[in-house]
Amino acid sequence: MKRVRQFAWLFLLLVTVASLGAGLWAPADYAMQFREAPNSPPSHQHLLGTDELGRDRFSRVLYGTRVSLLMAPAAALLSTLLATLVGGVAGYLGGWWERVAMGATDLFLSMPWLFLLLAVRAMLPLNIAPITSVAVTFLLLGLLGWAASARVLCAGARGLRDSDFVLQARASGLRGVRLLAIHVMPNLKPVLAAQFLISIPVFIISEANLGILGLGVSEPLPSWGSLLRELESFTSLGFEAWKLVPLALLVLVVSGFQIILSRNEVYA
């Protein structure tokens, strides 16, 4: 297992460095349209072929990775933190706090947030840099995506509240934040890890889908999500294996995170 974990670290590091240095070794500018060769298969100049506007896919994957790899985990972290604050603390405190927090969470889960996103888009100026648009999108996703795991965390914290070792810790004088941090939170780690891991691809795909509202990445900046949406054209253009590279990359990155985060688990 340790070997696999090391490999996962190495892979993630490699991907991060490759994307950060996209400006150095991308064969072409991600926006450059090679208009004589749209939708072309892989070749010397274009390692992964070109997209429908003739842009080099390999360069776009590099730059897209940079955008998504930096922002999606940050947004996932934000949503996990919020879930902990709302769900974990409420479950631990119990009583009235818990009821209100859970009621608010359920309400949050049911709202049509589409309209809030539309309103946010309306308030933003039209001439924002593509990177700002993506950053705002991921921020919003992070702020809106905590509700599901808050519920699970609440259930977990509630269970821990009455457990033996917490009672013992209380009896020995440990209170409040310290009790929370030392005894409760670590036991909620599995759910936090799951939340974090799920959020990354969910946010990446949501960011692409939010393009329909004018949020998300705007042309010509690529993101993983927008690259994944290329797959939708298989009905008209047929399955082309090189288009699956962004998908494979995402799957490997998510799996890599999963492996790294399962550090403390015991395989009995």
Using CB under 8 A as the binding rule, the residues of this chain from 58 to 97 that contact other proteins are none
Burial track 114-149 (b if 16+ CB lie within 10 A, e otherwise): eeebeebbeeeeeeeebeebbbbbbebbbebbbbbb
Q: Residue 56 forms beta bridges with which residues?
A: 50
- Sequence-separated (6 or more) residues with CB below 8 Å from residue 82: 142, 143, 146, 150
Smallest gap, in angstroms, from Cβ of residue 110 to other proteins? 4
Smallest gap, in angstroms, from Cβ of residue 120 to other proteins? 9
C-alpha angle 47-25-133 in degrees, rounded to nearest 5: 95
Smallest gap, in angstroms, from Cβ of residue 169 to other proteins? 16
> Is 214 a residue that touches other proteins (CB under 8 A)?
yes
> Is 161 a residue that touches other proteins (CB under 8 A)?
no
| Nearest to other proteins of 62, 191 (CB atom) | 191
| From 20-28, 41-49, 176-184, 209-217, span contacting other proteins (CB under 8 A) | 209-217
> Is 164 a residue that touches other proteins (CB under 8 A)?
no
Smallest gap, in angstroms, from Cβ of residue 78 to other proteins? 18
> Is 142 a residue that touches other proteins (CB under 8 A)?
no
By the 8 A CB rule, do 118 and 124 touch?
no
